[in-house]
Amino acid sequence: MSSAAATGRRLDPQAGEVIDRGSPLSFRWDGKAHTGFEGDTIVSALMASGVDVFSRSFKYKRPRGVLSATFHDPGCTVQVGDEPNVRAAHRRLAAGMDVSPENVWPSLKFDVRAANQLVGRFLSAGFYYKTFMKPQRLWPAYQKILGRFAAGGVTAADAEHGYYDKRYIHVDVCVAGGGPAGMAAAVAAARSGASVLLVDEEYHLGGHLRYGGEAELAALAELRAEVAAQKSIEVMTNAAVTGRYDMNWIAVVQRQPGISVRGRSIHERLCKVRAGALVVAAGLIERPYVFEGNDLPGVMLSTAVRRLVNLHAARPGDKAVVFTANADGDACAQDLRRIGVGVTVVDARTGGNIVSAKGGKRLKSVDLADGRSVDCDLLVTAVGWTAATPLLNMAGDRPVYDPTPARFFPTDRLPATVVVAGALAGDGSTAELIAHGTAVGATAAARAGHGSEVPVPALARVAHPELYRSTTHGFVDYSEDVSSKDMFAAKKEGYDSIELVKRYTTVTMGPSQGKLESVNAVAIMAEAHGVTDLNEIGTTVWRPPYVPITLGALGGRGFENTRFSPMQSWHEQHNAKPLVAGDWIRPEHYGDAAAEVAKVRDKVGIIDVTPLGKLDLRGPDVPKLLNLLYVNKWSKLAIGAVRYGVMCAEDGVVMDDGVTGRLAEDRYIMTTTSSGAATVWEWAESWLQTEHPDWQVHVTPVTTGYASMNVAGPKSRELIGRVVEGVDLSNDAFPYMHVRTATVAGVADCFMWRIGFTGELSYEIHVPAAYGLHVWEALFDAGSDLGVGAFGVEAQRIMRLEKGHFIVGQDTDGLTLGFGADLGWCIKLDKDDFAGKPELVLQSQRENYQRLVGLQPVDPTIVPAEASQIVEGAKKIVGRVTSSRMSPTLRRSICLGFVEPHLATPGTVVTCQLPDGRRVQLKVIEGLAHFDPAGARMKV
């Protein structure tokens, strides 16, 4: 057999090795140059190079090496270039990698913080609940110190953001786990006619067969060929099923899939799978043994050794003690002998036990229970298995412990479409596991609608010693530095349930999330309680994600919808300051909002109001709908007329407002606030669909079918006249609050109405949206000699405030009922029914609600911040300011706000507290309008 005649710790070629000796790769580790091969993991390359310490532990800063040689190996987290927290025992080596240990101070070799081991008894579990509390003034200092101890890598602020995306997959059968049972299940399901997604966390399918002997490798080759022959199986390697949700909604994280998009590699992809059936073939995870020194570099699990030797031709040591309780431990001892490592076997099945491992930065010797002390640099344990049951938990199962095989098993609480294949269900030879997987796969396919169910052969439950802790204390959670001693102490302190102990000691709360430690934790608790049946202790609940997933993959491409009007390019060219209004981008102003106000009041301005909600209403029963939704009356709206309306919700709260115009016999256009566009549409539909399906009304949203622009100012009629055809624009022919259809700037099918949000003579034109920019530009061309200018949302807000027009959601809130917003003139309680009527009737019968009033600061230069409180006496709040601006028209500050009824009389002076604590006086004005209260300017 091959020997150790290799470079450093690199072995001669092994039968199942995955490294390509023809492709050497150079890389750096902790500042030094190293080489490995294509196919190596970072750790296997380093081990072959003679490195055995990769990190320092979380709390005690103890040197750590390989334990499990899997993704979740707690001592193998490193920094690779800009990328922190890379799982080096899983991540494949790449040329030029710059790998460094994480968070060591000052270096991996010598970390001063290891000194805190000396005060370990003061740093037992839960110490941070009892320390670093007093005195409070030292918290900044404590923070600095504790920061030094925090684990984790480094992210550079300017590191390039990786490429992440998502994908939806629909599949009949999803198989979680690509070992022999999983592969067999996938093949069987495909043969039944099902589409299959087969997912495995390793880079190649095969599970434990990959690092087995000749027979395993032969079975593996056969299975791989069978999988490849089935076109309906999609295989995803270096991927993991990380969550199972209702109805087999399954999250699969795919790592470095080897796909490039425009030259950038996808770093991680989240696949959202809806599967007819889920086969859980996740297998078994080897469990560590708890004893003194169990975290020393050189102490490894048997599967770690077999992976390193058989897959990567890396030699983990020269002189080994193998503590074995099962056939896998025995096979590991054989593998070690085969590569020339001296092996001392300690057999648990014949009463052998190990007591403690000794060494500093590397294992030096092991003390056995029989009194011997054996010099060695490698201690291998094979004390049993943890069933990878989290996906079953997520499907609603609470697995049960069986002491004979010493592990947990699924129960019959699983839904019919979640089935278990392989070692999770029991023990067997490779052929038996394959037969089990085959039957389960066919069953899964049948439950997903393909082929028929077949009887599933039972797998045996082979007896295995229950080995959790030796006679000494050791680490239970390597990531969190929680020892069995800590757990006994916690129980003594009264944390006696597994859920409490978990949270108090943080056991199982580290990056491996219980995979290596939860069963040992339960067993330790059982010991502490003096019970032998682990079922009495119970387990904590596994929740997604089963394996880590980056925030990048959860975020995906991160596109947020942004909505633009057809005139957006014009706004940008004219230096509009963009305002984010919900999903929309709107022009806030074009440089000087006050100047825009002046232009509108003196000459003419145009504002883009495209986001205004617009609903096309048709049918003979439209008036019924309007009467139901609005608080005022709509039965007699003449053709060509426009009316303002307010909507309240069923609790009487002001919900939305706008104008509705009647364009023809059975055709109306309703407008809503821009933020209410979708809500009002759904509101109208809910009434029509769930209360009045007999009403003959059709509602169609046309918000973005029209580009909307409001031309406002004394010269607006003159400007409109230059572009509008076919409409008599005189005040008699086209009065205020009326609507006309017209051709504007050569565009047919426009409609326009005279309304008065800004308080000036104005025409709101609605143009079929594709022509929006054309009409907008035509207006500016036509009005250049009139001094036309664009105005933005800010100028409009100022002008509407000058006129006392409230904005729903700004001057009203979730508790403002109709009468409180000064809408008494509008609310017609004599209507039979309308949305919110009962609450408004009740409100009309009482006085004790705040009133919306116009307010003017006594000092005209003070502009109170919106939401400033209005107070009475020292501390009583009696109202608030809802809108506040400096009015360029009146050259003074103006507000709207709420006050208690006894303060609402015009002339009352109230006190307002500003955010900086100053108190100023505001006077209640008559009505809400600060400017042109009679509204004469709009009606010319």
Partner 1 sequence: MIQVPCPWCGPRNSMEFRAVGESKSRPDVATTTPEQWRQYLYTKSNLADWVTETWYHRAGCRRYFAVERHTVTNDIRESRLPAAQLRQKEGSGS
Partner 2 sequence: MNPSTVARTPIARSPVAPTAPVEVVEGWEVSTRRSTAALQLADLTWLAKVAVKADANGAFSTRHPTAFGSARRPSADVLEIGSDPGGWLTIGPVGGAAELVERLTVEVADAGELVSVIDLTHGRVLLRLSGENSDAVLAKICAIDLADMVTPNLSAFRSSVAKLVTDVVRDDLVDGTRSYLLHCERSSGQHLFNCVVDAGAEFGIDIAGSG
246 binds, among partner 2, partner 1, none (CB under 5 to 8 A by kind): partner 1
Residue from 214, 533, 560, 694 in contact with partner 1 (CB under 8 A): 694
Q: Where are the alpha helices (DSSP H) in 5-76?
A: 42-48
For residue 403, cis peptide bond before it (omega within 30 degrees of 0)? no
Distance between CA atoms of 151 and 511, rounded to whole angstroms? 11
Told to check if 682 binds partner 1 by CB under 8 A, we report: yes
Contact indicator for 71, 303 with CB cutoff of 8 Å: no
In the bound state with partner 1, the residue whose beta carbon lies nearer, of 499 and 682, is: 682
Q: Kindly write out the interface string for residues 696-735 of this chain, putting x where it contacts partner 2 by CB under 8 A and - elsewhere.
A: xxx-xxxxxxx---------------xx------------
Q: Kindly write out the interface string for residues 741-780 of this chain, putting x where it contacts partner 1 by CB under 8 A and - elsewhere.
A: ----------------------------------------
Q: Which stretch binds partner 2 (CB under 8 A): 95-103, 303-311, 349-357, 765-773?
A: 765-773
Shortest reach from residue 476's CB to partner 2, in Å: 42
10 Å CB burial of residue 84 (0-12, 13-18, 19+) is middle
Told to check if 837 binds partner 1 by CB under 8 A, we report: yes
Question: Of how many residues is the chain composed?
Answer: 940
Closest by Cα among 121, 113, 132 to 57: 113
The CA radius of gyration of the chain, in Å to the nearest whole number, is 38
Residue from 749, 847, 859, 926 in contact with partner 2 (CB under 8 A): 749
Residue from 496, 583, 839, 866 in contact with partner 1 (CB under 8 A): 839
Told to check if 599 binds partner 1 by CB under 8 A, we report: no
In the bound state with partner 1, the residue whose beta carbon lies nearer, of 34 and 837, is: 837
704 binds, among partner 1, partner 2, none (CB under 5 to 8 A by kind): partner 2
Residue from 136, 452, 690, 784 in contact with partner 1 (CB under 8 A): 690
Query: Residue 460: which H helix or E strand, with range?
Result: none
The type of residue at 748 is: A
778 binds, among partner 1, partner 2, none (CB under 5 to 8 A by kind): partner 2
Distance from chain centroid for Cα 112:
38
245 binds, among partner 2, partner 1, none (CB under 5 to 8 A by kind): partner 1
- Indicate if the alpha-carbon torsion angle 98, 104, 108, 109 is positive or negative: positive
In the bound state with partner 2, the residue whose beta carbon lies nearer, of 131 and 562, is: 562
The Cα-based distances of 458 to 425, 427, 437 in angstroms read: 8, 9, 11
Q: Which two tokens stand for residue 864?
A: 């109170």
Shortest reach from residue 782's CB to partner 1, in Å: 40
- The DSSP output letter for 747 is E
* DSSP calls for 867-918: TPEEEETTTEEEEEEEEEEEETTTTEEEEEEEE-GGG-STT-EEEEE-TTS-
Distance between CA atoms of 265 and 854, rounded to whole angstroms? 60
Residue from 28, 274, 503, 574 in contact with partner 2 (CB under 8 A): 274
Q: Is 51 helix (H, G, I), strand (E, B) or coil?
A: coil
Instruction: Pick out residues in 770-829 that bind partner 2 (CB under 8 A).
Output: 770-775, 777-778, 781-785
Residue from 150, 261, 638, 874 in contact with partner 2 (CB under 8 A): 261
Told to check if 505 binds partner 2 by CB under 8 A, we report: no
Told to check if 559 binds partner 2 by CB under 8 A, we report: yes
Distance between CA atoms of 396 and 541, rounded to whole angstroms? 10
What's the N-to-C CA distance of the chain in angstroms?
A: 106
Contact indicator for 494, 528 with CB cutoff of 8 Å: no
Told to check if 651 binds partner 1 by CB under 8 A, we report: yes
Q: Which stretch binds partner 2 (CB under 8 A): 79-87, 110-118, 595-603, 764-772?
A: 764-772
267 binds, among partner 2, partner 1, none (CB under 5 to 8 A by kind): none
Shortest reach from residue 680's CB to partner 2, in Å: 15
825 binds, among partner 2, partner 1, none (CB under 5 to 8 A by kind): none
Contact indicator for 128, 486 with CB cutoff of 8 Å: no
In the bound state with partner 1, the residue whose beta carbon lies nearer, of 506 and 843, is: 843
Told to check if 561 binds partner 1 by CB under 8 A, we report: no
Shortest reach from residue 682's CB to partner 1, in Å: 7
CA angle, 346 then 350 then 356, to 5°: 40
262 binds, among partner 2, partner 1, none (CB under 5 to 8 A by kind): partner 2
Distance between CA atoms of 782 and 719, rounded to whole angstroms? 7
Closest by Cα among 655, 667, 566, 573 to 609: 566
Closest by Cα among 833, 808, 762 to 658: 808
Instruction: Pick out residues in 521-540 that bind partner 2 (CB under 8 A).
Output: none
Query: Residue 761: which H helix or E strand, with range?
Result: none
Told to check if 533 binds partner 1 by CB under 8 A, we report: no
Told to check if 272 binds partner 2 by CB under 8 A, we report: yes
Q: How many CA atoms lie within 13 A of 62 on its CB side?
A: 24
Q: Which stretch binds partner 1 (CB under 8 A): 260-268, 367-375, 754-762, 831-839?
A: 831-839
Shortest reach from residue 236's CB to partner 2, in Å: 15
Which residues have a Cβ under 8 Å from the Cβ of 217 and sit 6 or more positions away? 15, 16, 209, 210
271 has which bridge partners?
167, 252
Q: Which stretch binds partner 1 (CB under 8 A): 497-505, 661-669, 687-695, 913-921?
A: 687-695
Shortest reach from residue 832's CB to partner 2, in Å: 23
In the bound state with partner 2, the residue whose beta carbon lies nearer, of 725 and 859, is: 725
Told to check if 262 binds partner 2 by CB under 8 A, we report: yes
10 Å CB burial of residue 131 (0-12, 13-18, 19+) is exposed
In the bound state with partner 1, the residue whose beta carbon lies nearer, of 110 and 245, is: 245
Shortest reach from residue 826's CB to partner 1, in Å: 19
Distance between CA atoms of 135 and 321, rounded to whole angstroms? 50
Told to check if 16 binds partner 2 by CB under 8 A, we report: no
832 binds, among partner 2, partner 1, none (CB under 5 to 8 A by kind): partner 1
Residue from 691, 749, 777, 859 in contact with partner 1 (CB under 8 A): 691
Distance between CA atoms of 28 and 21, rounded to whole angstroms? 19
Return the number of other C-beta atoms located less than 10 Å from residue 784's C-beta: 9
In the bound state with partner 2, the residue whose beta carbon lies nearer, of 170 and 876, is: 170
Return the number of other C-beta atoms located less than 10 Å from residue 906's C-beta: 11
Per-residue b or e along 724-761, where b marks 16 or more CB atoms closer than 10 Å to that residue's CB: beebebeeeebebbbbbbbebbebeebbbbbbbbbbbb
557 binds, among partner 1, partner 2, none (CB under 5 to 8 A by kind): partner 2
Furthest C-alpha separation in the chain: 114
Told to check if 128 binds partner 1 by CB under 8 A, we report: no
Instruction: Pick out residues in 212-251 that bind partner 1 (CB under 8 A).
Output: 245-247, 249
Contact indicator for 366, 291 with CB cutoff of 8 Å: no
- The DSSP output letter for 292 is B
- Indicate if the alpha-carbon torsion angle 472, 476, 478, 483 is positive or negative: negative
259 binds, among partner 2, partner 1, none (CB under 5 to 8 A by kind): partner 2
Told to check if 541 binds partner 1 by CB under 8 A, we report: no
In the bound state with partner 2, the residue whose beta carbon lies nearer, of 313 and 567, is: 567
Q: Is 774 helix (H, G, I), strand (E, B) or coil?
A: helix
Shortest reach from residue 584's CB to partner 2, in Å: 7
Q: Point out which residues bind partner 2 (CB under 8 A).
A: 165-170, 195, 259, 261-262, 272, 274, 557, 559, 561-566, 583-584, 610-611, 616, 618-620, 696-698, 700-706, 722-723, 745-747, 749, 768-775, 777-778, 781-785
In the complex, which residues of this chain contact partner 1 (CB under 8 A)? 245-247, 249, 274, 650-651, 682, 685-686, 689-694, 832-833, 837-839, 842
